[in-house]
Amino acid sequence: MFDREQIRAAADITRAQARVIPNDVAQVFEGRVTTYGQLDARSNSIAQGFIAEGCKPGARVGFIGKNSDRYFEMLHGAFKAKAVVVGVNWRLAAPEIAYVLNDAKAEMVFVGAEFYDIVAQVLAECPSVKRVVALDGGRVDWISFDEWRDSFPATDPKFEHHIDDDVIQLYTSGTTGHPKGVQLTNRNYLSVFEEGETSGWADWKRGEVNLVCMPLFHVAGVNIGVIGHAHGTKNIILKDVDPQAILKLIEGEKINVAFMVPAVILFLLQQPNIKTTDVSSLRQILYGASPIAEDVLRQAQATFNADFIQLYGLTETTGGATYLPPEAHDPAKGKLRSCGIPYPNMQIRVVDEKGNDVPQGDVGEIVIKGGMVMKGYWNRPEATAEAVKDGWFHSGDAGYFDADGYLYIHDRVKDMIVSGGENIYPAEVENALFGHPAVADVAVIGVPDERWGEAVKACVVLKPGMSVEPGEIIAFAKTRIASYKVPKSIDFIEALPRNPSGKILRRELRKPFWEGRARMVN
């Protein structure tokens, strides 16, 4: 249970639990077991480390690594030192990693072993970074995490914390090709805790077992771990999304609560031993980050005897906006395609281009207001003003309300592609492809994919007299952008459809691939 009186800022989470349940297990990772008392003490040492390194309140510190218990030690230490953790997507290419570190002006970087080489490659381009900590040791030029942490006293700095202090900064893909840093605050996370409890789905009890398996550079991955600690659960942390490992942990650790994106739920259902694995401990499965196919959801309901809850939100809304409660998952109620109802203290409207509410049942842009809406985009006042108007965050998602007040996602206003829970903006991919010497023009679209929801397709116009194989363009793109953004297929066309002002008509390109489907998101 979340203690509203004891937890008034993110920094209070481990303090509160260490006072009440110091000997309860806070987290387990690959055999390492940490109690709440230990987590609190270690986060104190890390907070002192940040202070000793010269990180002033508001300083940004980067994290590039797979899921681990050390991430949460570092995160809670940053909360106490008033440093802001910047989760860097480890799937990014080297130039993209350098961009994020420089945009954030990260002063320290914590790096997992898998990414030592790529971080070493970009450090010369990142002048703000003054210390690199090797999370898994093994580097003579970088101090190991354990050595660095243990060299500082376990003394709580007891800084004064303010409701609008930044605590986490996550990067979201940009419509212009550059990602933007989303500033999430104490206010945002207290709202997450409050709304989760008030709506009923975050009724987690102390000692319950919570699976943390989604990547920690995503708001959903971070939130599930932080919410678990705020409620005093035992967090089982999985390094990578591995369906067999997930099934083994569900059975072996008696997992009670898990969050998974729809693609991962599908992978679990495809495992040959799913029918023989004991999954009876699972009482709640949360899912979100991309729409789920109704057939997959029905199959999952038949496989897991658990309450299913869909969570819809964006990084800019700290992952929250609506929830589809368990009772609405009854197929007879006809709500399985909905993303649910607004949280009790969140306001959601569907508006036209002028910002006016559209009639019930009509499609418009989804706008969101409430305590979970971000403070803004880091050092991007113009982008913030464009996204948040009079407190209303403009999501870029198109949807509609039914007569019962349930929200449905119909399409995306901003052309964004969601593949396996990852947000991909066409502009990023197009910018990369335009660098190929044979490409005269290009448009990137999302097309249906049974495994990932959507797949990236590039429609390419070649320069006169040029020829190139699709594989060559794909290989070229891999040198410039993250692999998950790279087109899975290339179509060569004579010319791109454009309106009179020259804007690419992506809907015209997408339409043939989405024919026969009720909506243009998968």
**CATH code of residue 372:** 2.30.38.10
Which of 202, 225, 240 lies at the terminal end of a domain, its last residue? 240
Which of 412, 447, 468 lies at the terminal end of a domain, its last residue? 412
Secondary structure of 395-460 in HEC code, one letter for each residue: EEEEEEECCCCCEEEEEECCCCEEECCEEECHHHHHHHHCCCCCEEEEEEEEEEECCCEEEEEEEE
- Give residues with Cβ within 8 angstroms of 103, minimum separation 6: 171, 178, 179, 181, 378, 379
Look at residue 334 and tell me if it is in a domain: yes
The model's pLDDT over 388-429, given as tens digits with 9 standing for 90+, comes to: 999 999 998 888 999 999 999 876 666 778 888 787 878 778
Torsion-angle region of residue 310: left (phi > 0), alpha (psi -120 to 50) or beta?
beta
pLDDT of residue 500: 52
Q: Is the pLDDT of residue 466 over 60?
A: yes
For tokens 């109704």, the residue is 294
Look at residue 266 and tell me if it is in a domain: no
Q: How confident is the model at residue 221 (pLDDT cuts 50, 70, 90)?
A: very high
Side chain identity at 126, as an amino acid letter? C
344-368 b/e (C-beta count within 10 Å ≥ 16 → b): eebebbbeeeeeeeeeeeebbbbbb
Q: Is the pLDDT of residue 475 over 60?
A: yes
Residue 496 sits at the vertex; the CA angle it makes with 493 and 497, to the nearest 5 degrees, is 130
Q: Are residues 60 and 159 in the same domain?
A: yes
The span from the CA of 247 to the CA of 22, in Å, is 29
pLDDT of residue 291: 66
Provide the β-strand partners of residue 27. Answer: 34, 235
Look at residue 500 and tell me if it is in a domain: yes
Please, how many CA atoms are within 13 Å of residue 357, restricted to the half-sphere of its CB?
8
Among 283-292, 365-374, 397-406, 430-439, the range of highest mean pLDDT? 365-374
Q: Are residues 407 and 422 in the same domain?
A: no
Look at residue 271 and tell me if it is in a domain: no
Q: Give the residue from 97, 61, 67 showing the smallest Cα distance to 79.
A: 61
Query: 10 Å Cβ neighbour count for 249?
Result: 20
Q: How confident is the model at residue 177 (pLDDT cuts 50, 70, 90)?
A: low
Q: Are residues 375 and 426 in the same domain?
A: no
Higher pLDDT, 287 or 434: 287
Q: Are residues 334 and 364 in the same domain?
A: yes
Look at residue 522 and tell me if it is in a domain: no
Q: How confident is the model at residue 338 (pLDDT cuts 50, 70, 90)?
A: very high
Q: Are residues 422 and 407 in the same domain?
A: no
The average pLDDT across 133-152 equals: 97
Q: Are residues 32 and 117 in the same domain?
A: yes
Look at residue 245 and tell me if it is in a domain: no
Q: Are residues 185 and 111 in the same domain?
A: yes
The span from the CA of 222 to the CA of 208, in Å, is 18
Q: What is the dihedral of CA 511, 517, 518, 522, to 10 degrees?
A: -90
Provide the β-strand partners of residue 28. Answer: 33, 236
Higher pLDDT, 364 or 165: 165
pLDDT of residue 501: 45
Look at residue 503 and tell me if it is in a domain: yes
pLDDT of residue 503: 62
Q: Domain of 432: which CATH number?
A: 3.30.300.30
Total of domains in the chain: 3
Q: How confident is the model at residue 122 (pLDDT cuts 50, 70, 90)?
A: very high
Q: Are residues 68 and 39 in the same domain?
A: yes
Q: Give the residue from 418, 364, 424, 421 showing the smallest Cα distance to 394.
A: 364
The string of DSSP codes covering 117-145 is HHHHHHGGG-TT--EEEETT---SSSEEH
Question: Looking only at Cα atoms, what is the longest distance across the chain?
Answer: 73
Share of the chain above pLDDT 90, in %: 75
Q: Are residues 430 and 500 in the same domain?
A: yes
Q: Domain of 32: which CATH number?
A: 3.40.50.12780
Enclosing H/E stretch for 234:
strand 234-237
Look at residue 33 and tell me if it is in a domain: yes
The span from the CA of 185 to the CA of 193, in Å, is 13
Q: Are residues 65 and 129 in the same domain?
A: yes
Which of 217, 240, 263 lies at the terminal end of a domain, its last residue? 240
The average pLDDT across 352-377 equals: 94
* Range with the poorest average pLDDT among 198-207, 264-273, 429-438: 429-438
The string of DSSP codes covering 4-52 is TTT-SSTTHHHHHHHHH-TTSEEEEETTEEEEHHHHHHHHHHHHHHHHH
Higher pLDDT, 181 or 466: 181
Q: What is the dihedral of CA 115, 116, 120, 121, to 10 degrees?
A: -40
Q: Is the pLDDT of residue 286 over 90?
A: yes
* Summary mean pLDDT of the chain: 92
pTM of the model: 0.83
Tokens for 504?
Answer: 């690419």
The span from the CA of 263 to the CA of 272, in Å, is 16
Q: Are residues 458 and 348 in the same domain?
A: no
Q: Are residues 218 and 84 in the same domain?
A: yes
- Give residues with Cβ within 8 angstroms of 157, minimum separation 6: 44, 47, 48, 51, 80, 81
Q: Is the pLDDT of residue 340 over 60?
A: yes
- Give residues with Cβ within 8 angstroms of 87, minimum separation 6: 63, 168, 169, 170, 171, 216, 217, 218, 222
Question: Where in the sequence is the domain holding 92, given as residue range(s)?
Answer: 12-240
The span from the CA of 446 to the CA of 152, in Å, is 49
